[in-house]
Amino acid sequence: MADRVRDERGMIPGADTIGAPQVTEPKAYSAPTASNAILENARKVCVEVLGPHAQEADRAARPRVENFEALASYGLLGIAIPKEFGGLDAPAVVQRQYTEILASYCGVTTFVQAQHHGASRMIAGSKSALLRNTLVPNLAAGRSLCAISFAHLRRPGPPILRAMFADGGVRLSGTAPWVTGWGLMNQVVLGATLPDGSFIYVWSPANRNDYPELFEQGGPTRDDWGYLTASDPLPLCTMNASATVAIHLDNWFIPQGHVLSQSDRATMHRNDRNGVLNATAMPIGCASAGLRILEHAAASKKLSSITRAAKSFADEVSEARNQVERWSNPESAAVPDFFERAVGIRAWCIELALRTAHAAITAVSGSANSLDHPAQRLIRESMFYTVQAQTIEVMDATLARLERDV
């Protein structure tokens, strides 16, 4: 499989095709030892709580609350939040390792809690001290959780969720088509498009009565707050228990103090490219879970074919993890063909998750079809990781990876 990586790199348009100098590959980055406690706690929660209930969590109607309570009890729902608000402020590499561990035990819990981390970071960066101080300590402790919805901003064509400046704030109209965790989460960070095509990110609760201190000033004229309605949870083949809804907004008023930031398409595109490896921890975790099933089958069935496959996938998962670490190193962004290499690694991780789950099913045989068996869950989870945070460039790289070699 190492050869496969080398072949793939050879095919990617590299430095010489654009006339830039050849560069050496950046070194891998290792986590500070002080962060080990975070990962040990994550492992403990996974082994004791998430893992034993993973099939149940997958088949539930909504996110399994006990999983979130267990993560919160170790402060892990504040992993991305600055220490001044009670968070763990873990380095990016530790957050990746944490996510991989969780994803190797329970995909739906991993995904739902990941939405909370992104939203919490944005609120912690808000200019409003009142908003930060009211919300972020509770988000860090997991006493409340926040959803996030901005993927729709990537879509071409007329905006699906529009924003207009109004007296004292902003009004939103349209649909946020993907909002995960709704119900477990009672607040959301929404991205919407302004008339000039730029983007605005705002915080909104489902019910402003939950946060009276944040609505004491700056109401709309004539007390016209507009409407926010959430759909029922979308029926899904994978992540069905993620409580993913569509939120419909009609002239929904957001006070100026709840505007988090403004940005534009070019910045989003740049961030998507620079962060293309951010979404690899979940598929690698999924592949690790498939590998565990293979290793278990190898030990119980004692077939040389399964032993061989387990060894091959162990090597490949480890190699993929190393490549992600190497290319997530901040120095790597300076490499001229960084993006071409990184998006190829992202596509590899997507395909590896699917292929490892498929191998696990093959080795387990018929009982892998049981809803009580994790192998069928993993193949469905890998389907979700294929489209999560998908950009046109990730789609292209994934399809190229999946096409038959000619």
Ligand X SMILES: Cc1cc2nc3c(=O)[nH]c(=O)nc-3n(C[C@H](O)[C@H](O)[C@H](O)COP(=O)(O)OP(=O)(O)OC[C@H]3O[C@@H](n4cnc5c(N)ncnc54)[C@H](O)[C@@H]3O)c2cc1C
Cβ closer to ligand X: 325 or 340?
340
Among the listed ranges 5-13, 222-230, 330-338, 382-390, the one in contact with ligand X (CB under 6 A) is: 382-390
User: H-helix or E-strand containing 200?
Assistant: strand 199-205
Cβ of residue 70: shortest distance to ligand X, in angstroms?
Answer: 22
Enumerate residues 6+ apart whose C-beta is below 8 A from 120: 78, 80, 81, 87, 136, 139, 140, 146
Alpha-carbon gap, residue 284 to 278, rounded angstroms? 11
Name the residue nearer to ligand X (CB basis): 111 or 252.
111
The Cβ of residue 222 has, within 10 Å, a number of other Cβ atoms equal to 6
With CB under 6 A as the contact rule, the residue among 95, 97, 128, 149 that binds ligand X is 149
Cβ proximity to ligand X: between 20 and 395 the closer is 395
Three-state secondary-structure class, residue 262: strand
Residues binding ligand X: number (CB under 6 A): 24
Which stretch in 153-161, 198-206, 326-334, 362-370 sits in contact with ligand X by CB under 6 A? 153-161
Which of 68, 150, 253, 385 is close enough to bind ligand X by CB under 6 A?
Answer: 150
What's the closest the beta carbon of residue 117 comes to ligand X, in angstroms? 12
Contact between 179 and ligand X per CB under 6 A? yes
158 or 212: CB nearest ligand X: 158
- As given in the structure block, the two tokens for residue 290 are 């498939």
Q: Give 35's contacts (C-beta < 8 A, 6+ positions apart).
A: 90, 91, 94
Q: In this chain, which stretch among 57-65, 146-154, 225-233, 288-296 interacts with ligand X, using CB under 6 A?
A: 146-154
Q: Which of helix, strand or coil describes residue 113?
A: helix
CA distance 362 to 310: 12
Using the rule CB under 6 A, give the single segment among 79-87, 145-153, 302-310, 353-361 that binds ligand X.
145-153
What is d(CA 140, CA 228) in angstroms, rounded to the nearest whole number?
Answer: 26
Q: Measuring CA to CA, which residue among 163, 250, 165, 169 is closest to residue 217?
A: 169
Cβ-based nearer residue to ligand X, 21 or 156: 156
C-beta closer to ligand X: residue 298 or 378: 378
Smallest distance, ligand X to C-beta of residue 15, A? 26
User: Which range of residues in 6-14, 22-30, 39-47, 144-152 is near ligand X by CB under 6 A?
Assistant: 144-152
User: Are 252 and 171 contacting, i.e. CB atoms less than 8 angstroms apart?
Assistant: yes
Kindly report the CA angle at 373 between 372 and 377, in degrees rounded to 5? Answer: 100
- Report if residue 11 touches ligand X, rule: CB under 6 A: no
The answer to the question of residue 178 lying near ligand X (CB under 6 A) is yes
Residue among 239, 309, 352, 375 that touches ligand X (CB under 6 A): 239
Per-position DSSP letters for 221-252, written without gaps between them = GGG---EEEEPPPPP-SSSGGG--EEEEEEEE
How buried is residue 300: exposed, middle or buried, by Cβ count under 10 Å (0-12/13-18/19+)? Answer: exposed
How deeply is 226 buried, as exposed, middle or buried, from its count of CB atoms within 10 A (0-12, 13-18, 19+)?
Answer: middle
Helix (H) / strand (E) containing 263: strand 259-263
- Is 387 a binding residue for ligand X by CB under 6 A? The answer is yes
In the bound state with ligand X, the residue whose beta carbon lies nearer, of 143 and 155, is 155
Residue 203 interacts with ligand X (CB under 6 A)? no
CB of 37 to ligand X, least distance (A): 29
Q: Cβ of residue 229: shortest distance to ligand X, in angstroms?
A: 17
388 in contact with ligand X (CB under 6 A)? yes
Question: In the complex, what is the shortest distance from the CB of residue 21 to ligand X, in angstroms, rounded to a whole number?
Answer: 31
3-state DSSP percent of the chain in helix, strand and coil, to 5: 60, 15, 25
Can residue 148 be called a binding residue for ligand X (CB under 6 A)? yes
Rounded Cα–Cα distance for residues 151 and 142 (Å): 24
Told to check if 299 binds ligand X by CB under 6 A, we report no
Q: Which residues bind ligand X (CB under 6 A)?
A: 115, 147-151, 154-156, 178-180, 236, 239, 242, 244, 384, 387-392, 395
